[in-house]
Amino acid sequence: MRRPALFTFSIMVGLLLGLWPLRSLALDHDNLDPNRPIGMEDAYAIPKGEIGMEGGVRFNDRREGRTRVTFQPQIIYGAFDNTQIEIQGDLMSDPNTLVGAAKSGDLHLGLLYNFNTETISLPAFAARVEVDLPTGVNSKGVDTQMTGILTRSFGRLRAHLNGGYTILGSPQGRERPGTYRAVAAVSYPLGYPTSFSDTLIASLYTRESDLRGQRNHTGIELGLRHQLTSRMVLDGGLGTEFSGPADRAALLGTIGLSVGF
């Protein structure tokens, strides 16, 4: 393990021990967190006092260049009512070729706040702010991400909109100083009302390319979250990018596990 990756992992373990609760709580497969299992999230924070430790492996089989594999350890903590703290440290293969905000070994610190639950006239709305510290390979400057999240129910179907912007603290070469992204998604509980252990999610997304002069990455993803036990959720997803630069993803995939403590 490279020294930046080891440093990031050590910080995450220390923070987990500091947040460790005195009681065990359940995880909900219908609560959608970033990259669990696709690149979108819903507007709801986990309950106050709950903690989840999540880990996933994501691969990106690009149309040009090597297939990239990412290990994504993450800690989510319900610090207050309607508020969760997120700690993540992506570890990526071939780290020296990365461009944009995502660098292998960077420490990501996030805060999500839910402003309101859904009503008859209003969707649920949340905002998330994330700071990416330059602890990784070839990483310079502190990057900032801001995301607005809407969730609206139509019967058992839920619709989600995510819109965000990332500001690079120290762009290098042809890197853009900032990039936007937008995601439209739907989620649906399978088997309801006789059973309620699976949630299916589908999304359409577009994000600005990391380098100037390139087209947006635009694609679709499909994911499933399965409740193994009251404290364990298994997730998996697949996707592809049908428009974008020459090295856009031919096939994306994720498999992960979330455990509540």
Can you list the alpha helix ranges (DSSP code H) found in the chain?
3-19
Number of domains in the chain: 1
pLDDT of 260 higher than 80? yes
Nearest to 2 by CA among 97, 134, 95, 100: 95
Condensed to tens digits (0 to 9), the pLDDT of residues 91-150 reads 999 888 888 888 899 999 999 999 999 999 999 999 999 999 999 998 899 999 999 999
Please compute the mean of the pLDDT values over residues 219-245 and round it to a whole number.
95
Report the mean per-residue pLDDT for the chain: 89
Q: What's the pLDDT band for 20 if we cut at 50, 70, 90? A: very low
Of all helices (H) and strands (E), which one includes residue 53?
Answer: strand 51-62
Distance between CA atoms of residues 240 and 248, nearest Å: 9
CATH of the domain at 159: 2.40.160.40
The two tokens of residue 78 are 């319900």
pLDDT of 39 higher than 70? yes
**Cβ proximity of 248 and 220 under 8 Å:** no
Reported pTM: 0.87
Query: What φ, ψ does residue 160 adopt, rounded to 5°?
Result: -135, 140
Please compute the mean of the pLDDT values over residues 180-202 and round it to a whole number.
92
pLDDT of 8 higher than 80? no
pLDDT of 30 higher than 90? no
Strand partners, 61: 251
Q: Which domain holds residue 200?
A: 3-260
Answer with the residue of higher pLDDT: 56 or 2. Answer: 56
Distance between CA atoms of residues 60 and 58, nearest Å: 7
Q: What's the pLDDT band for 21 if we cut at 50, 70, 90? A: very low
User: What is the DSSP-derived secondary structure letter of residue 66?
Assistant: P
Please compute the mean of the pLDDT values over residues 24-51 and round it to a whole number.
83
Q: What percentage of the chain carries pLDDT values higher than 70?
A: 89
Alpha-carbon Rg for the chain, nearest whole angstrom, is 18
Q: What percentage of the chain carries pLDDT values higher than 90?
A: 75
pLDDT of 173 higher than 80? yes
Please compute the mean of the pLDDT values over residues 18-26 and round it to a whole number.
47
Strand partners, 237: 223, 254
